[in-house]
């Protein structure tokens, strides 16, 4: 700071890029314009100034002050002062230069008559918050604007009217935004003695467009998703003598409530559908009927819980984020905790802006259900062990896991293909009615393809075995005790009044079921579908041949297709005129037969698969649904954060062709960082979170054009079920038109989630000394492998110029190698893992997420540290102010206000003893922490 003071003397320099120095007095009209200059962009302040003090005097001459400046204002006719902002505390100097600037945004409602009071305080004990006012100074806004250099030097006067020092105010922003950034054509050749290189005008234009339309407050898309934006401004010196202009923002999202409402509704529909499928199985023998009733009863209990949750979510009228002190509230358990977007916009010396976003969220976990029985990882493991034990009993059906997965796939395929066959059968009938030869051929080809796909799905051994099992469960079924069949394994069932005995048996079994008759019947069913289709194909061929026969010698058959049933040029009557209804009458009975055969085949196949799943789930249904409920809660929280991250990343990169190509080619990288300890309840939270993140692999995105321009039209829409969810992201027409053809056509966009955790608190110290850190090591190793795999995919199909540019001298392969070394190092509290993973994510166009238990305290330390690391490594912030900048963001930045939003107290929930266990860079400045609710 001394070096900076020498360069600038007693004057704070304003970089040339921020505004053009005025050489004339501002008239009243110009003053009004100056204040309204950024009225078109709510993200930008209408007035901003920096503050510095010199020659501060304290009563104790041997002690230099720890000072900060509190800024209050009043605008006539208001007769009282309103505190507006304050700077950070700078310790041990009589000449502090404050990094946090004082910004007035649109909602400040200031004008040229506004009076501003600067009160300078000396903090005697930061931890206790004891302080006294050294002195104060007043000035009207009008005076600052009329001053030629937009700089005021004022005396500080104590309460006794004694001079106690000077305060300097230097305004930064004085004209329209478009003028603020000098056009490329009039950039000077040199600035402050530095040679300036020419800049590509197209780049400047595209940057300007992106900046103008990605405001959290103004942008059509972003303002429909985010709200409650708060902003802070900073000016940080760079190594080359300029200043960085930094806007820090934090906003909550309406999706915190909107997504859980949609998600729970989908779960309700899925489970209600499952109950319907079970009810539609038809009459079962008493033993199977009892089992079905038990399963349906369990489902009805869970459905009731989802209905109550959906009612609670629909009735909720609170803020659009869930405060950390409500994380265990049952009514809101599907909502993510303290979900916000943390944004940093950096304007460099050329006036170009760079935006960095991180989604912050309390660790997705089932707080309401507690952690005594561990988290999802161990619960899933216990469930699988219980299932194996149940399946080893003679009272249970044995199906291998692949059979269960296959059964679910068969049901999904049948539902889809049956609908498609019906649709194309109807279209074929319409083409016949319209007598469109080309339409008939086209539609028949699709119908044949879909029908054959359905037959292929239904022609499998698993289905045949399941049909036998379902038939054996009917009351009228009498089990045959014939000799074992030859080679293949089959289901063996004994259908008693009070016993369910079923297991796989082979050639050595003495009680094998002889069910050839049922196999033959099933084969007839799908063969009938095949034959019905062949009849339609043959009949269409005959119709088309008859249509073409009269004109073979004179016209090409393709021309006849175009003419259809129109009158011939030579005046001879067409086939349509000879027999208008011939095609419809010929195809109608065949299409009816096909549709009926498909319905019979689909119904039989689906019921058998539902019965198979019923048998599989029966022994552990209560445990299964309880586990599924917990997994749903965790996944919903994680999914909400992912959707927020996807939307803001897509909006920021709407004109980044490299990113968009990467998005539809290999998918979006979603990198989750957590700071949870591997001790006590947080270990179970980490288990929950890791499963929720990995479940995101079943999520795809699809970008569509919004049907309207209102905010609800821009909200995402979720479809699907637990086997796979799709999220439709509506964009305004102008934004949608900017997308590449592949995305516009509806290509599904995949997600590749990775998760790195490093515990940093005192509980992690206990885990490292007396506990177990293996879960953290496993999670980091798994994610390292996936991250390397993602980069390998990138290198195979995409060029390096798809990636953003970086000032770093370390290439991506080297960064990945360093990350691998750190992950394998088993070093305690190795936060290098988090820093390197975050940098790799940014350089791979990924989306960043940061979590701790409540996303309030440790998360605040992480995101502010990340912001300062970016400023230093990517934008040349002077290293000598790194610590001061970090403390400044933590004491006066948006994350300090996040603590107020959550618990009503402007302090981080740490104590001095805890912080001794924290890595050095994760400790907040004195006076900003204390014992508060977490």
Q: Catalytic positions, please?
A: 852
End-to-end CA distance of the chain: 36
Structure tokens belonging to residue 790: 């993602």
Measured CA to CA, the distance from residue 253 to residue 639 in angstroms comes to: 13
* CA 177 and chain centroid, separation: 32
Residue of 931, 930, 932, 934 whose CA lies nearest to 126: 930
Measured CA to CA, the distance from residue 642 to residue 925 in angstroms comes to: 32
Q: Cα dist. 662→223, 359, 647 in Å?
A: 26, 21, 16
Residue of 751, 815, 754, 816 whose CA lies nearest to 779: 754
> 624-627 long-range contacts, Cβ below 8 Å, gap at least 24?
624/383, 625/298, 625/299, 625/301, 625/302, 627/376, 627/379, 627/380, 627/383
* CA 446 and chain centroid, separation: 36
Q: Cα dist. 301→126, 297, 298, 610, 626 in Å?
A: 55, 6, 5, 20, 10
Per the listing, tokens 């995305």 go with 743
Q: Which residues contact 531 (CB under 8 A, 6 or more apart)?
A: none
Structure tokens belonging to residue 251: 């906003």
CB distance 866 to 358 below 8 Å: yes
Measured CA to CA, the distance from residue 210 to residue 129 in angstroms comes to: 43
DSSP of 47-83, one letter per residue?
A: EEEEEEEES---SSTT----EEEEEEEE-TT--S-EE
CB distance 637 to 336 below 8 Å: yes
Structure tokens belonging to residue 342: 């943390």
Measured CA to CA, the distance from residue 343 to residue 877 in angstroms comes to: 18
Q: Which residues face 505 on adjacent strands?
A: 490
Structure tokens belonging to residue 466: 């399941």
DSSP state of 39: T
Structure tokens belonging to residue 733: 């027409």
Residues in the chain: 934
């Amino acid at each position: 700071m001394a070096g900076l003071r020498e360069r600038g003397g007693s004057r704070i320099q304003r970089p040339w890029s921020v505004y053009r120095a005025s050489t004339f007095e501002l008239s009243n009209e110009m003053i009004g314009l100056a204040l309204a200059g950024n009225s078109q962009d709510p993200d930008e302040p209408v007035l901003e100034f920096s503050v510095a003090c010199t020659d501060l005097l304290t009563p104790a001459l041997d002690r230099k002050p720890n000072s900060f400046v509190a800024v209050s204002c009043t605008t006539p006719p208001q007769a009282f002062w309103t505190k507006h902002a304050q700077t950070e505390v700078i310790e041990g100097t009589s000449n502090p230069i404050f990094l946090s600037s004082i910004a007035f945004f649109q909602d400040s409602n200031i004008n040229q008559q506004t009076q501003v009071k600067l009160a300078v305080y000396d903090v005697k004990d930061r931890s206790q918050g004891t302080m006294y006012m050294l002195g104060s100074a007043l000035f009207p806004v009008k005076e600052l604007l009329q001053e030629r250099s937009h700089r005021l030097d004022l005396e500080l006067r104590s309460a006794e009217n004694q001079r106690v020092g000077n305060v300097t105010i230097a305004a930064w922003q004085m004209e329209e935004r478009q003028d603020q950034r000098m056009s490329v054509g009039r950039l000077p050749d040199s600035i402050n003695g530095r040679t300036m290189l020419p800049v590509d005008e197209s780049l400047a234009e595209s940057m300007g467009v992106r900046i103008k339309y990605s405001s959290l407050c103004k942008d059509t898309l972003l303002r429909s998703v985010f709200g409650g934006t708060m902003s802070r401004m900073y000016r940080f010196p760079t190594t080359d003598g300029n200043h960085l202009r930094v806007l820090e923002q934090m906003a909550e999202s309406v999706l915190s409530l909107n997504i859980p409402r949609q998600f729970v509704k989908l779960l309700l529909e899925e489970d209600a559908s499952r109950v319907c499928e079970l009810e539609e199985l038809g009459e079962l023998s008493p033993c199977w009927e009892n089992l079905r009733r038990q399963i349906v009863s369990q489902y009805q209990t869970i459905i009731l819980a989802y209905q109550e949750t959906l009612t609670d979510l629909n009735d909720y009228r609170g803020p659009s984020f869930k405060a950390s002190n409500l994380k265990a509230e049952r009514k809101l358990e599907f909502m993510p905790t303290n979900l916000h977007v943390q944004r940093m916009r950096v304007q460099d010396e050329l006036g170009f802006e760079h935006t960095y976003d991180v989604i912050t969220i309390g660790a997705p976990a089932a707080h309401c259900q507690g952690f005594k029985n561990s988290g999802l990882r161990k619960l899933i493991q216990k469930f699988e062990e219980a299932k194996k034990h149940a399946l080893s009993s003679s009272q249970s059906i044995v199906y291998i896991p692949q059979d269960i997965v296959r059964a679910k796939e068969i049901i999904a395929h049948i539902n889809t293909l049956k609908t498609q066959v019906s649709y194309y059968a109807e279209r074929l009938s319409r083409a016949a009615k319209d007598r469109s030869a080309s339409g008939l051929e086209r539609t028949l080809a699709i119908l044949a393809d879909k029908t054959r796909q359905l037959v292929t799905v239904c022609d499998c051994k698993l289905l045949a075995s399941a049909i036998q099992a379902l038939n054996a469960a009917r009351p009228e079924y009498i089990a045959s005790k014939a000799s074992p069949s030859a080679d293949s394994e089959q289901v063996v069932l004994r259908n008693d009044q009070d016993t369910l005995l079923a297991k796989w048996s082979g050639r050595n079994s003495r009680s094998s079921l002889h069910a050839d008759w049922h196999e033959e019947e099933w084969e007839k069913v799908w063969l009938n579908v095949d034959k019905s289709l062949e009849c339609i194909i043959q009949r269409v061929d005959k119709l088309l041949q008859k249509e073409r026969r009269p004109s073979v010698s004179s016209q090409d058959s393709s021309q006849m297709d175009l003419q259809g049933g129109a009158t011939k040029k030579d005046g001879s009557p067409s086939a349509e005129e000879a027999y208008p209804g011939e095609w419809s009458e010929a195809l109608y009975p065949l299409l009816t037969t096909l549709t009926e055969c498909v319905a019979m085949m689909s119904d039989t196949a689906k019921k058998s698969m539902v019965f198979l799943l019923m048998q599989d789930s029966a022994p552990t249904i209560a445990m299964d649904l309880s586990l599924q409920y917990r997994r749903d809660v965790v996944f919903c929280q994680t999914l909400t954060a992912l959707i927020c991250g996807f939307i803001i990343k897509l909006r920021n990169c709407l004109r980044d062709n490299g990113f968009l190509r990467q998005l539809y080619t290999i998918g979006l990288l979603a990198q989750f960082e957590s700071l949870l300890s591997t001790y006590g309840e947080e270990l179970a939270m980490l288990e929950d979170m890791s499963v929720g993140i990995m479940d995101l692999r079943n999520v795809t995105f699809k970008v569509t054009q919004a049907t309207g321009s209102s905010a609800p039209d821009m909200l995402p829409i979720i479809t699907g079920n637990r086997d796979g969810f799709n999220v439709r992201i509506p964009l305004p027409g102008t934004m949608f038109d900017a997308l590449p053809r592949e995305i516009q056509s509806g290509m599904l966009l995949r997600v590749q989630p990775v998760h790195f955790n490093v515990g940093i608190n005192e509980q992690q110290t206990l885990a490292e000394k007396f506990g177990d850190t293996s879960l953290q090591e496993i999670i980091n190793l798994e994610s390292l492998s996936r991250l390397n795999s993602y980069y390998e995919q990138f290198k195979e199909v995409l060029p390096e110029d798809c990636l953003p540019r970086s000032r770093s001298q370390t290439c991506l392969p080297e960064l990945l190698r360093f990350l691998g070394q750190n992950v394998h190092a088993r070093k305690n509290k190795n936060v290098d893992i988090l820093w390197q993973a975050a940098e790799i994510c940014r350089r791979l166009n990924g989306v960043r997420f940061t979590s701790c238990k409540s996303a309030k305290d440790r998360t605040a330390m992480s995101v502010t540290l990340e912001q300062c690391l970016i400023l230093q490594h990517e934008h040349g912030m002077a290293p000598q102010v790194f610590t001061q900048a970090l403390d400044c963001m933590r004491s006066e930045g948006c994350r300090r206000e996040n603590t107020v939003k959550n618990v009503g107290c402007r302090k981080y929930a740490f104590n001095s003893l805890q912080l001794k266990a924290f890595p050095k860079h994760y400790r907040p400045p004195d006076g900003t922490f204390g014992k508060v609710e977490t």
